[in-house]
């Protein structure tokens, strides 16, 4: 929420829903720029070493942003003639663990909220924050408002959790790369997880996981839609992330194309194919606090195999050094090679589970464009390839077309 004008529009939209007979719980984010402003002040004053005590104060500070915006939204709703009340995380209470700045929600007490709803009030709950066992304020980390909303929806057993964002839904791929990209009316939870983790930054991945765990139907829709559009139209807008596999979903084999150019690949060539080799390599990498995404090991050849994985591009140099200086020698690997100029392109679709030939269709489409595939990794609902980064847009467009994603499914 930006200006008071923006808050007023949110209030009008909520009032519209409430007047249509819905019991409404609203989880606002802070006013835009507010969290950054507060954290910048903290940064100016910060101690040299960021310990737990410091992170506790950061949370105590950052939580004020949502408390303020929630109170302002309650006031704006009252101005609309609605009974409204706002609660901070500790007032609900939203209980979390004590991992300051990245706390996890443990429980939500819904008694107070239910009583207010029954009394005809709109209830506003601060996003992004909670309270730990000892009564300290905690925050869930950036984007935590989405997670709070889903958690509250789960606790309240809400019919649907509407997430208003700055995009109007989930697309078959990034419309900036493929202008024909189409908004999906529904997407399965599993597909959304793959899309989110593969770089569609529509929703924070934790909020999707939370929704999956508690089977909360999530709708992603645009906060830029005028507040006074027809409520039935609004109720069908955006993209519904569903947990029920209806027929609609089965129709499209592939739902979307995800891509990511933040990765780099590293291979150890000619390592002995003995038990524990994967652990010996990746255990050392994990100890260096380097996160690994794709992992590929092919069948061995004369007792030797090649082991490859991808890491974030920022960790590429460090990971390569680690392998060259230490692990490769220990394991007797022939060579360490790597490349940061790659990208990962994936097709995602729950329909892939029951359709053969989806991967080969993908490979054919890429080959027709003369794009060489460097690595392949598959799961039940996703096939990812690593290719030269310069082909990324070309590959995404070719796949989008090959799977008819520009066409509305029949």
By CB under 8 A, residue 90 contacts a copy of itself: yes
**Residue found under tokens 């960021």:** 50
227 binds a copy of itself (CB under 8 A): no
Q: Which span (76-84, 212-220, 320-328, 378-386) binds a copy of itself, by CB under 8 A?
A: 76-84
- For a copy of itself, the binding residue among 22, 91, 225, 284 (CB under 8 A) is 91
Instruction: Name the minimum Å distance from CB 75 to a copy of itself.
Output: 5
| Residue number, 108 or 277, with CB nearest to a copy of itself | 108
Q: Does 48 bind a copy of itself (CB under 8 A)?
A: yes
Q: Which of 124, 55, 53, 140 is nearest to 91 (CA)?
A: 124
What DSSP character marks residue 373? P
Peptide bond into 218 cis (omega under 30): no
With contacts defined by CB under 8 A, name the span among 12-20, 79-87, 254-262, 289-297 that binds a copy of itself: 79-87
Q: Which stretch binds a copy of itself (CB under 8 A): 1-9, 171-179, 286-294, 362-370?
A: 1-9
Distance CA(292)–CA(319), nearest Å, equals 10
Q: Is 110 in the site for a copy of itself (CB under 8 A)?
A: no
Nearer to a copy of itself, 56 or 104 (CB): 56
* Residue 140 vs 365, nearer CB to a copy of itself: 140
Cβ proximity to a copy of itself: between 46 and 286 the closer is 46
Q: In this chain, which of 45, 299, 356, 410 binds a copy of itself, going by CB under 8 A?
A: 45
Q: Is 42 in the site for a copy of itself (CB under 8 A)?
A: yes
Asked whether position 111 contacts a copy of itself by CB under 8 A, the answer is: no
CA distances from 234 to 8, 34, 230, 285 (A): 18, 29, 6, 48
HEC profile for the chain? CCCHHHHHHHHHHHHHHHHCCCCCEECCCCCCCHHHHHHHHHHHHCCCCCCHHHHHHHHHHHHHHHHHHHHHHHHHHHHCCCCEEEECHHHHCEEECCCCCCCCEEEECCHHHHHHHHCCCEEEECCCEEECCCCCEEECCCCHHHHHHHHHHHHHCCCCEEEEECCCCCECCCCCCCCCCCECCEEEHHHHHHHHHCCCCCCCHHHHHHHHHHCCCEEEEECCCCCCCCHHHHHHCCEEEECCCCHHHHHCCCCEEEEECCEEEEEEEEEECCCCHHHHHHHHHHHCCCCEEEEEECCCECCEEEEEEEEEHHHHHHHHHHHHHHHHHHHCCCEEEEECCEEEEEEECHHHHHCCCHHHHHHHHHHHCCCCCCEEEEECCEEEEEEEHHHHHHHHHHHHHHCCCCCCCC
| 53 counts as binding a copy of itself under rule CB under 8 A | yes
Choice from 56, 104, 185, 401 touching a copy of itself (CB under 8 A): 56
**Bridge partner list, 386:** 344, 375
CB nearer to a copy of itself: give 60 or 197. Answer: 60
Answer yes or no whether residue 203 interacts with a copy of itself by CB under 8 A: no
- Asked if 392 touches a copy of itself (CB under 8 A), the answer is no
Comparing CB distances to a copy of itself, the nearer of 116 and 306 is 116
Out of 15, 25, 27, 76, point to the residue binding a copy of itself (CB under 8 A). Answer: 76
Out of 12, 22, 64, 394, the only residue in the binding site for a copy of itself (CB under 8 A) is 64
Restricting to residues 116-175, which ones interact with a copy of itself according to CB under 8 A?
Answer: 135-137
Taking CB under 8 A as the criterion, the residue among 47, 179, 275, 276 binding a copy of itself is: 47
**Binding status of residue 6 toward a copy of itself by CB under 8 A:** no
Applying CB under 8 A, the span of 64-72, 264-272, 305-313, 367-375 interacting with a copy of itself comes to 64-72
Given 71, 150, 158, 336, the residue binding a copy of itself (CB under 8 A): 71
DSSP labels, 51-71: -HHHHHHHHHHHHHHHHHHHH
Taking the complex as a whole, the smallest distance from the CB of residue 46 to a copy of itself amounts, in Å, to 6
Give the binding site for a copy of itself (CB under 8 A): 4, 7-8, 11, 38, 41-42, 44-48, 51, 53-54, 56-58, 60-61, 63-65, 67-68, 70-72, 74-76, 78-79, 81, 83-86, 88, 90-91, 135-137
């Amino acid at each position: 929420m930006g200006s008071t004008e923006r808050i007023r529009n949110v209030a009008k939209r909520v009032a519209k829903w409430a007047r249509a007979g819905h019991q409404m719980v609203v989880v606002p984010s802070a006013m835009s720029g507010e969290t950054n402003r507060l954290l910048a002040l903290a940064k100016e004053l910060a101690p040299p070493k960021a310990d737990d005590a410091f992170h506790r104060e950061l949370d105590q500070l950052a939580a004020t942003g949502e408390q303020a915006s929630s109170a302002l939204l309650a006031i704006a709703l009252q101005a609309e003639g609605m009974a409204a009340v706002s609660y901070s995380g500790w007032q609900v209470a939203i209980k979390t663990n004590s991992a300051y700045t990245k706390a996890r929600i443990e429980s939500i007490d819904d008694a107070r909220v239910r009583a207010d709803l029954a009394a005809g009030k709109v209830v506003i709950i601060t996003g992004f924050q909670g309270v730990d066992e000892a009564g300290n304020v905690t925050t869930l980390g950036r984007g935590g408002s989405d997670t709070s909303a889903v958690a509250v929806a789960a606790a309240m057993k809400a019919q649907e959790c509407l997430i208003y964002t700055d995009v109007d839904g989930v697309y078959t791929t990034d419309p900036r790369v493929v202008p024909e990209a189409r908004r999906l009316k529904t997407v399965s939870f599993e597909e959304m997880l793959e899309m989110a983790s593969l770089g569609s930054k529509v929703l924070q991945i934790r909020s999707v996981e939370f929704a999956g765990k508690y089977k909360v139907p999530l709708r992603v829709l645009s906060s830029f839609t005028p507040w006074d559009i027809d409520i039935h139209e609004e109720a069908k807008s955006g993209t519904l992330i569903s947990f029920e596999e209806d027929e609609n979903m089965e129709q499209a084999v592939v739902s979307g194309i995800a891509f990511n150019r933040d990765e780099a690949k590293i291979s150890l060539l000619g390592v002995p194919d003995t038990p524990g080799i994967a652990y010996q390599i990746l255990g050392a990498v994990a100890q260096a606090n380097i996160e690994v995404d794709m992992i590929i090991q092919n069948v061995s050849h004369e007792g030797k195999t090649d082991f490859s994985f991808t890491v974030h591009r920022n960790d590429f140099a460090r990971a390569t050094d680690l392998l060259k200086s230490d692990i490769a020698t220990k394991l007797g690997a022939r060579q360490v090679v790597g490349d940061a100029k790659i990208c990962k392109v994936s097709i995602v679709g729950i329909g892939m589970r029951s359709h053969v030939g989806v991967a080969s269709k993908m490979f054919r489409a890429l080959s027709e464009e003369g794009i060489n595939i460097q690595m392949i990794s598959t799961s039940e609902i996703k096939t990812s390839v690593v290719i030269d980064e310069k082909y990324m847009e070309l590959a995404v467009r070719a796949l989008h077309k090959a799977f008819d994603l520009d066409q509305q499914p029949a």
